[in-house]
Structure 1
Amino acid sequence: MNLKLVSIVYIFCICGISCTASNEDTSVLPEGFVDATQRSTHTNNWAVLVDASRFWFNYRHVANVLSIYRSVKRLGIPDSQIILMIADDMACNARNPRPGQVYNNANQHINVYGDDVEVDYRGYEVTVENFVRLLTGRTQNGTARSKKLLSDAGSNVLIYLTGHGGDGFLKFQDSEEITSQELADGIQQMWEKKRYNELFFMVDTCQAASLYEKFSSPNVLAVASSLVGQDSLSHHVDPSIGVYMIDRYTYYALEFLEKVQPFSTRTIGDFLQVCPKRVCISTVGVRKDLYRRDPHKVPITDFFGAIRPTRVSTDRINVTLANESDFIADPDEISANKRPFKIIMEPQFPSEFFK
């Protein structure tokens, strides 16, 4: 018995020494890169983007969700980690004078539908049941992998909702509703099942702030386009199609996001101020009591961008190349010209931090 105890203590001591040694970083990294890696503990990003409205007169809601989709995709979140739910297909609607295109402004600067939009849930697939199943990971048997939210304890998740709502509910398809309590329960299950590290809840609808009132789960930051008792208003009409193009809050959110680059220093705190009442008319609501970090110290890309796992090593790395003939079309070219063999590869590391 004593011998076993000594062995256990010995192993514990070795492990302790090993861990201590590995935590001591003798290398000196550029300050900008060190700050970037210490801002968050998440390892991947996911986005769930939902338009819950049907019918042509709700064109702006489709433009809303596609505007956010464009932004997160441009900043690095791949389609494989974006769940896009659109209740109606405005791009192919018979009333659309520009088939296959959806714009978020009358000047037609940006076609937010684009050539590579991947809609995961379309039309009558956009239901309260499917949305809740998606969040909680309880999708039905046979559901395609691309329709699943495969987040984990290291995931930062962005949830964006747009449509018609009221005090404590959001309508789906004009036939059913999801309540603020159901949303709170779904997010609580996500937390208990370790399906997110931090969650950013964003909603653009009337009385939007009522949808996050029931939240109690940790690490949740929420923003809403209007307070309880207020309407969320549209921005402008395109006379050529006769409908509103986009809602005010999402319009100014997109204007902000279009100026953000992958290594931007803009923060979530900056984003929470994008639509003051003088331009939004409604009052933007923010809930941050459940969130552990100061939003003004959280990069906007922690939720709207993506991170690339990087391992930094200060040791010499030996790379054994294959035969030169595997890389050169004519192996005699080297012996004839007697030039050193050289392979040029595109940089994969953010070298701008070292300048």
Structure 2
Amino acid sequence: MSDPASVLSSRRLRIGVLILLLLLIGALCYLSWQSAQPYRIGVLLPASGDDDSDYYDTLDWAVEGLNREGVGRRVELVPVDTAEVPLQIASKQLIDDPTIRVVIGPAASDEAFLIAPDFIKAKKLLITPSATSGDLLRMFSRFGYIWRTTTGDRAQTRIIMTILKERGVRSAALLYEESTYGKTFRDWAAFYAIESEIELTSAVPFERGGDLRETVAAACLLDPEYIIVVARGSDAALVLRIMEEEGCSTRLIFTDAVRTDTFLEAAGDLAEGAEGVSPTADRKTGFFVAYKAHFGRMPDDYAAHTYDSLILAVAALARMEAAPSESPAQAMKAVVSGQDGSFGWDSQGAAAAIRQIRSGRLPDLTGASGPLEYHRDLPGEPLVTWYVNWRVEEGYFRPNTYIPGSFGEKRAVEVPDSQDEGGSTFVRDEGKELRAVLVTTSSDWDNYRHQADVAYLYSLLLKNGVRQENIIVISQEDIPHSVMNPSLGHLYHRAGGENIYIPATVTDTAITSDAFVSFLLGESSPEIPLILETDEKSNLLLYISGHGGPGFLEFPDDDHLTSSRFQETIQRMAEEKRFSRMLIVVEACFGESMGIGLDVPGVVFMTGASYHEPSRGAEYDITLRQWLSNDFSMSLTDSIVQYPDQTLRGLYEMTYDRVSGSHPRIIAGNANDLNIPIAEFFAA
């Protein structure tokens, strides 16, 4: 007779084994089911209109090839035609789909700016083949979720200026669409014009789809040799028609958005001879040959980059499968940093590389446009993109010259010739007291960075021992208390940094240029009910942050302070012995225009942008959706903190090298003024 306990134990063992077998079978079934699930990739691209660039034909071709060769799972696109479906609705649909972790698109920079924060918060990858705004990656690269396969338009701007320089061109104007796309060309045209020794006669914006007659006339006004036209196909065709009607013979060079069938159809015979610059593939990859063999036509500008977006998307998904502990951002960074062997870009090579990634290896990815190599310090930004200088001949875009373009290059530090190293050694005078006046001439939420720069400099001076009563802050200080501010009473200079807001002098009403001039001359006013108490023993720091134009600083309500009036005021302050030494720092677009011609002993003028250039924001916060600083001011204060013992000359040279996108300038009453230690103006 069997022992009941033994029987029970045996039965439990059999049940346990059965459960384990069922669990094992279930796990195997799940793994089999999971491995059978496709790599689903969302697509947010247009299938018609000015922004259509044969995206879907290229993607379908790439998917067909990968599925034919096999990458371990079937690749499946989830497309949404953004020409038909509102972008934010389409974007939310793909973000809310848990089976989609990577999305290709959108086509335009304005669209990318709109949805990028949502993808970052959702921790999903967004790979755009054609959103090339210079600010896109400056804003979002640090998160690792926003990528593109074409270098930003900074490179395209440099190439256009290089082409003009090689032709011996001495003057050019810019006619640009007032959008995120056009903004990059506006921001960089003056910079590269200076680098190329070309005079930028004007930069004229226009509204997309509007009447361009007045803007074309404005661009032609100073008779430039060339006009750089940043426009979509239909607007570009209208520019040609207006030029023809007005008899303007100025030559045109177009940017990449023109190279579409829309332009050829709208311009008709006027398109013949039109030329421009567009991104393209490296001819050595063989993409052109393969594309034409498959489609019977040459590819559009962004075909190779669209193909590469698909390769990156599938490679990232394969890496997520091989390394599930990594975030999608980490997976993508790993994919583009691989050095373990190399494969071609075609379906056979790309599929082999993706299978390697799925197995845990990291090959060196190659794309249809060229090597898929990215900046280490700016994740998401390609190192190199090839461009083509094309011309319309017999109704077709014919390639002329192929040129490699990169994100940017260092330029030599240029201290103006008049500011040589001559002059005696600086001797610090005893008994001098520092006074500081920090001014922001703007208000409202969109000007967050101006008040943040003032607040940060204020806090820096206090940390450096300057007494609070020796600092006057002229600002409405409405940003910390704005209804738009999710952290009332807070102001930030770095994303994720500490609150730098210290309540200071507040002007309840908008200041005027008259009130500001009166203040500098020792008089109070209702707008600035303060007295600047300085004398011949005072070292005076005057920092101004706001908007500017060629020859003026903007004040509220269309009030301007002209450069001539500003300089007359400084000259009068000197005559009235209101300072011993004075450092003027202007953070504004076209800032140099306020200082050109200023020749007052003991006065040094510094600014972040030349006469022709805009200044640029720095440190973007995706929660606030605002720039937290200006590039020049951040570079300046960082240099002061890191090297407090340097001279004004050293500060200028260091800041010049750090600023990206403009040419800082310095003007001094005499060369020896540049030998003054910065502590004279930034520390007690």
Same fold flag (TM > 0.5)? yes
Residue 443 of structure 2 contacts residue 479 of structure 2 at CA under 8 Å; is this kept in 1?
A: no
Using CA pairs under 8 Å that are at least 6 residues apart, name the structure with larger relative contact order, 1 or 2.
1
Aligned residue among 199, 206, 227 for 2:582: 199
How far does residue 215 in structure 1 lie from its aligned partner after superposition?
A: 1.9
Residue 53 of structure 1 contacts residue 174 of structure 1 at CA under 8 Å; is this kept in 2?
A: no
Aligned residue among 490, 510, 516 for 1:131: 516
Higher-Rg structure is 2
Flag the 1:275–1:266 CA change in 2: closer, same or farther, 3 A.
Answer: closer
Flag the 1:174–1:225 CA change in 2: closer, same or farther, 3 A.
Answer: farther
Is the counterpart of residue 280 in structure 1 residue 666 in structure 2?
A: no
Any gaps of 5 or more consecutive residues in structure 2? 1-424
Aligned residue among 63, 69, 94 for 2:452: 63
How far does residue 134 in structure 1 lie from its aligned partner after superposition?
A: 1.1
> What residue is the counterpart of 1:92 in the other structure?
481
Helix, strand or coil at the partner of 2:654: coil
Aligned residue among 409, 416, 429 for 1:40: 429
Aligned residue among 670, 677, 680 for 1:291: 670
| Matching residue's letter, 1:226 | A
Greater alpha carbon shift after TM alignment, 125-134 vs 272-281: 272-281
Pairing of 1:326-341 with structure 2 (within 5 A): none
Flag the 1:185–1:268 CA change in 2: closer, same or farther, 3 A.
Answer: same
Residue 53 of structure 1 contacts residue 88 of structure 1 at CA under 8 Å; is this kept in 2?
A: no
How far does residue 54 in structure 1 lie from its aligned partner after superposition?
A: 1.4
- Separation in structure 1 between the aligned mates of residue 511 and residue 461 of structure 2, nearest angstrom: 21
| Matching residue's letter, 2:500 | V
How far does residue 64 in structure 1 lie from its aligned partner after superposition?
A: 1.2
Is the counterpart of residue 163 in structure 1 residue 549 in structure 2?
A: no
> What residue is the counterpart of 2:645 in the other structure?
265
Pairing of 1:1-355 with structure 2 (within 5 A): 38-40=427-429, 43-108=432-497, 110-114=498-502, 117-119=503-505, 121-140=506-525, 147-259=530-642, 264-276=644-656, 279-288=659-668, 290-291=669-670, 293-295=672-674, 297-306=675-684
How far does residue 89 in structure 1 lie from its aligned partner after superposition?
A: 1.2
- Separation in structure 1 between the aligned mates of residue 561 and residue 536 of structure 2, nearest angstrom: 25
Flag the 1:277–1:232 CA change in 2: closer, same or farther, 3 A.
Answer: farther
- Separation in structure 1 between the aligned mates of residue 491 and residue 610 of structure 2, nearest angstrom: 29
Helix, strand or coil at the partner of 1:50: strand
Identity over the aligned pairs, expressed in percent?
27
- Separation in structure 2 between the aligned mates of residue 209 and residue 41 of structure 1, nearest angstrom: 32
Residue 602 of structure 2 contacts residue 673 of structure 2 at CA under 8 Å; is this kept in 1?
A: no
How far does residue 271 in structure 1 lie from its aligned partner after superposition?
A: 1.4
Helix, strand or coil at the partner of 2:573: helix
Deviations 1:264-289 (A, max 9, x none): 5222222112333564210001112x
Deviations 1:197-244 (A, max 9, x none): 011010111110000124232211111100011110111321101111
TM-score between the two structures when normalised by the length of structure 2? 0.36
How far does residue 88 in structure 1 lie from its aligned partner after superposition?
A: 4.2
Residue 234 of structure 1 contacts residue 244 of structure 1 at CA under 8 Å; is this kept in 2?
A: yes
Larger helix percent? 2
Flag the 1:293–1:278 CA change in 2: closer, same or farther, 3 A.
Answer: closer
- Separation in structure 2 between the aligned mates of residue 173 and residue 157 of structure 1, nearest angstrom: 25
Residue 618 of structure 2 contacts residue 628 of structure 2 at CA under 8 Å; is this kept in 1?
A: yes
- Separation in structure 2 between the aligned mates of residue 241 and residue 142 of structure 1, nearest angstrom: 30
| Matching residue's letter, 2:651 | F
How far does residue 102 in structure 1 lie from its aligned partner after superposition?
A: 0.3
How far does residue 107 in structure 1 lie from its aligned partner after superposition?
A: 2.2
Deviations 1:13-50 (A, max 9, x none): xxxxxxxxxxxxxxxxxxxxxxx994235611111111
| Matching residue's letter, 1:245 | L
Helix, strand or coil at the partner of 2:524: coil
Residue 87 of structure 1 contacts residue 173 of structure 1 at CA under 8 Å; is this kept in 2?
A: no
Deviations 1:1-24 (A, max 9, x none): xxxxxxxxxxxxxxxxxxxxxxxx
The count of aligned residue pairs is 260
- Separation in structure 2 between the aligned mates of residue 70 and residue 158 of structure 1, nearest angstrom: 15
- Separation in structure 1 between the aligned mates of residue 613 and residue 550 of structure 2, nearest angstrom: 9
Deviations 1:146-188 (A, max 9, x none): x211000011101111111010101012431111111111111
| Matching residue's letter, 1:243 | Q
Flag the 1:292–1:240 CA change in 2: closer, same or farther, 3 A.
Answer: same
> What residue is the counterpart of 1:318 in the other structure?
none
TM-score between the two structures when normalised by the length of structure 1? 0.68
| Matching residue's letter, 2:473 | L
- Separation in structure 1 between the aligned mates of residue 557 and residue 429 of structure 2, nearest angstrom: 39
- Separation in structure 1 between the aligned mates of residue 500 and residue 672 of structure 2, nearest angstrom: 32
- Separation in structure 2 between the aligned mates of residue 40 and residue 269 of structure 1, nearest angstrom: 19
Larger strand percent? 2
- Separation in structure 2 between the aligned mates of residue 234 and residue 177 of structure 1, nearest angstrom: 22
> What residue is the counterpart of 1:19 in the other structure?
none
- Separation in structure 1 between the aligned mates of residue 682 and residue 513 of structure 2, nearest angstrom: 24
Deviations 1:85-123 (A, max 9, x none): 113411111111111110011122x32213xx322x424
Deviations 1:116-141 (A, max 9, x none): x322x424252212211111112249
Flag the 1:41–1:211 CA change in 2: closer, same or farther, 3 A.
Answer: farther
Residue 47 of structure 1 contacts residue 83 of structure 1 at CA under 8 Å; is this kept in 2?
A: yes
| Matching residue's letter, 1:167 | P
Any gaps of 5 or more consecutive residues in structure 1? 1-35, 307-355
Flag the 1:140–1:100 CA change in 2: closer, same or farther, 3 A.
Answer: closer
Cα RMSD between the aligned structures?
A: 2.3
Residue 55 of structure 1 contacts residue 88 of structure 1 at CA under 8 Å; is this kept in 2?
A: no
